Amino acid sequence: MIGLNHHPGRVVRRSLDKRIWAWPQYDWKMSPVVETVASKKVLLAAPRGYCAGVDRAVVTVTKALDLYGAPVYVRKQIVHNIHVVQTLEARGAIFVDETDEVPEGATVIFSAHGVSPAVHEQAAARSLKTIDATCPLVTKVHHEVRRFASEDYQILLIGHEGHEEVEGTAGEAPDSVLLIDGLADVEKVVVKDESKLIWLSQTTLSVDETMQTVDALKKRFPLLHAPPSDDICYATQNRQLAVKEIAEKCDLLLVVGSTNSSNSVRLVEVALESGSQASYLIDYASQVKDEWFVGVNTVGVTSGASVPEILVEDLLVELKKRGFGDVEVITKMEEHLLFSLPVELRKDLRAAQV
């Protein structure tokens, strides 16, 4: 981890290059016009990387491996990051698509994105020991779906079709949920009763894009109800706000994250919409391309909510090699939220006195 003291509203400068630069000497008689060379620097967004829900999920798998031994099965990727998945696989985690791939009686962990009641039933039918690592903020949306479905509301769920979180959320009340995946779906959706209509959302969407969809829905359905609290998670919002803070100052903004990470993909979109000249999503520092740096003096760096800080550190090392050794940490806000481990795991850890 980079040892930086983050303070809200302040810029913290850290030089990764300790060389002392000397000013060029000019012959003023021969060179009346002095040309200055723009310095190369990195704007490092904060907050970035792991959120509380991701940290909880990854620690859950790690503690389960320590306690039960390998193998420990995980339904779907525990979080959407290839480095995290490969690291846990090396320790003995086995990732499967469905519970029927897990041997009867074995331990299976449900990913941070959540699962539907049907998945819980399938696991019970196979006598699986389950540990639910669903992010508590996703669980909150599940509770909202059950509540509003029980009150006979039709739920317009804003999210991406096929995303694991959406499948789990919609599965709480499949007869009451209609998926809205973008503005095109707003025009096509057919509802039963406009007075009993509420919108909810996937937790990892772009805030701006979601509100555009909500505004379009309100134009069609003026009586549309809003959720009691914002569904888009704090970490998703904070990382987007941090990117907005630096994007306009960046010739290039690099987002560390995997392509199946919804919140990481959104960060690239937010960067471009907020003024960055270019933005790319990478898993590893080795994926940066020489042509990206042509004419670039300021590089922004951030990472998705499922990305460990070591990958950002690797990118900073790569940027230093390319002459970007001066790093300014731009802190939009601080985060202190922590979630306790799943209750099933806590009980076993106490029993084992670990």
Q: HSE-up of 190 (CA within 13 Å, CB side)?
A: 0
Asked if residue 142 and residue 212 are part of one domain, the reply reads: yes
Bridge-based pairing of strands 326-331 and 11-15 is antiparallel
Asked if residue 153 and residue 197 are part of one domain, the reply reads: yes
Could you read off the pLDDT of 218-257 as tens digits, one per residue? 999 999 999 998 888 999 999 999 999 999 999 999 999 9
Q: So what's the pLDDT on residue 3?
A: 34
Asked if residue 61 and residue 150 are part of one domain, the reply reads: no
Number of domains in the chain: 3
* Domain assignment of residue 26, given as a range: 11-50+234-331
Residue that terminates a domain, selected from 220, 251, 277: 220
State the catalytic residues: 165
**Is the distance from CB of 309 to CB of 297 less than 8 angstroms?**
no
Confidence at 353, pLDDT banded by 50, 70, 90: confident
Asked if residue 124 and residue 43 are part of one domain, the reply reads: no
- Whether residue 255 lies inside any domain: the answer is yes
Asked if residue 327 and residue 240 are part of one domain, the reply reads: yes
- Whether residue 180 lies inside any domain: the answer is yes
Domain at 145, CATH number: 3.40.1010.20
- Whether residue 5 lies inside any domain: the answer is no
- Whether residue 1 lies inside any domain: the answer is no
Domain at 119, CATH number: 3.40.50.11270
Mean pLDDT (whole number) for 20-35: 34
- Using alpha carbons only, give the angle 269, 272, 278 rounded to the nearest 5 degrees: 115
- Whether residue 2 lies inside any domain: the answer is no
**Local structure of residue 333 (DSSP, 8 states):** -
Q: So what's the pLDDT on residue 27?
A: 37
Q: So what's the pLDDT on residue 28?
A: 29
